[in-house]
């Protein structure tokens, strides 16, 4: 079919963070839940780097999100970027990954300012609380006699970094999901757990393999629910078009005419790409339908497609500009009638 490679038409979502992001595609992971939410609508790129802090991320951000003059156009931006750093920055000063709070603030501000230019929407997540007894147990299991017996990460320290992250997000008008506060405030009446008592299970407390920092299955689900809840919030969530309004690049299998499958692809793609133009959508690869020429060329191997597309796609785009996207569907119907004749 006339697709422009794997990075052609589908929108893009990038998850940029440390090990909490890197592990997000594990069993029941929050990244996997996000991929399911955007299935056939956007590709999810996991850029989680275990053990990284904002000092290192600030250096990497222009290479992961290169900017150009085209980036000012929404058509060449990622649909969404989630940024999640702080768990390592908040480690004790004796740890090599520690970043002082004031530097963390400067780094995070720089990262968000850059990413805001590369994405239509940015969401910042704050570092989670840390279950210190589980960290000490993990430390002893990992280092044996070399364990210090002092927790290198604490809930109190993570909370200070989380508060700074939330403040910077507000300053820069970035959506913030305050995981630290949400987990601390969470209760579980079914288990008779009050706020402050439920969250340790999210970071693997008293569970095999739990280390007091990385998420258990319930912790992954908690993050997924918080993130998807923010995305679903309403018809027009945080500047994002409702998921139902984002077109797929190809029709659903049930909508394909088996007797004329190429025609089904063409009809759908004209409507889909016109909708992307109407909403100003493209993707972070800088690929977008700014004119009908690229789509016309992609159909050059189908003898009847070029003249049909050239006429009707031009009409659809002109109608969209003059009267709005409501005429897109009528243009597509015209194509079907022309082909039938």
- What the block records as the tokens of 27 is 């069993």
- What the block records as the tokens of 245 is 């309004």
User: Which three-class secondary structure state does DSSP give residue 188?
Assistant: strand
CA distance 341 to 337: 6
C-beta of residue 85 within 8 angstroms of C-beta of residue 52: yes
Question: What residue has token string 């050239």?
Answer: 310
CA distance 176 to 168: 9
> What does the chain come to in residues?
341
Task: Name the packing angle between helices 30-37 and 217-232 (round to 10°).
Answer: 30
Could you tell me which residues come within 8 angstroms of residue 266 by beta carbon, excluding any fewer than 6 positions away?
A: 2, 299, 302, 305, 308, 309, 335
- Radius of gyration of the chain measured on its C-alpha atoms: 24
Closest CA to 129 of 163, 82, 98, 100: 163
> Which H/E stretch holds residue 31?
helix 30-37
Residues 53-91 as b/e (b if ≥16 CB within 10 A, e otherwise) read: bbbbbbeebeebbeeeeebeeebbbbbbbbbbbbbbbbb
- What the block records as the tokens of 115 is 């990413």
- What the block records as the tokens of 35 is 């991929």
DSSP label at 126?
P
C-beta of residue 131 within 8 angstroms of C-beta of residue 87: no
Q: Give the number of C-alpha atoms closer than 13 A to the C-alpha of residue 67, restricted to the C-beta side.
A: 12
Concerning whether 290 is annotated as a catalytic residue, the answer is: no
Residues serving a catalytic function are 19
């Amino acid at each position: 079919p006339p697709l422009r490679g794997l990075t052609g038409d589908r929108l893009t979502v990038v998850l940029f963070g440390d090990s909490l992001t890197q592990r997000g595609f594990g069993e029941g992971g929050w990244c996997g839940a996000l991929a399911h939410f955007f299935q056939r609508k956007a590709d999810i790129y996991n850029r989680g780097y275990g053990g990284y802090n904002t000092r290192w991320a600030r250096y990497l951000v222009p290479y992961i999100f290169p900017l150009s003059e085209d980036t000012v156009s929404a058509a060449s931006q990622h649909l969404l970027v989630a940024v999640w750093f702080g768990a390592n920055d908040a480690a004790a000063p004796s740890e090599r990954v520690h970043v002082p709070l004031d530097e963390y603030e400067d780094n995070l501000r720089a990262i968000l300012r850059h990413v805001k230019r590369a994405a239509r929407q940015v969401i910042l997540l704050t570092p989670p609380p840390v279950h210190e007894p589980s960290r000490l147990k993990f430390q002893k299991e990992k280092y044996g006699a070399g364990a210090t017996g002092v927790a290198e990460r604490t809930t109190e320290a993570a909370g200070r970094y989380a508060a700074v992250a939330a403040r910077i997000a507000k300053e820069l008008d970035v959506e913030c999901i305050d995981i630290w506060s949400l987990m601390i405030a969470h209760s579980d009446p079914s288990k008779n757990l009050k706020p402050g008592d439920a969250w340790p299970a999210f970071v693997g407390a008293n569970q095999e393999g739990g280390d007091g920092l990385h998420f258990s299955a319930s912790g992954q689900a908690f993050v997924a629910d918080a993130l998807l809840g923010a995305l679903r919030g309403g018809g027009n969530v945080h500047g994002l078009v409702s998921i139902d309004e984002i077109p797929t690049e190809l029709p659903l299998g049930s909508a394909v005419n088996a007797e004329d499958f190429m025609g089904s692809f063409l009809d759908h793609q004209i409507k889909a790409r016109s909708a992307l133009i109407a909403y100003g959508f493209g993707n972070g690869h800088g690929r977008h339908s700014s004119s009908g020429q690229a789509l016309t060329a992609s159909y050059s191997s189908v003898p009847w497609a070029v003249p049909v597309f050239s006429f009707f796609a031009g009409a659809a785009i002109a109608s969209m500009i003059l009267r709005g996207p409501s005429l897109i569907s009528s243009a597509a119907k015209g194509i079907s009638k022309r082909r039938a004749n």
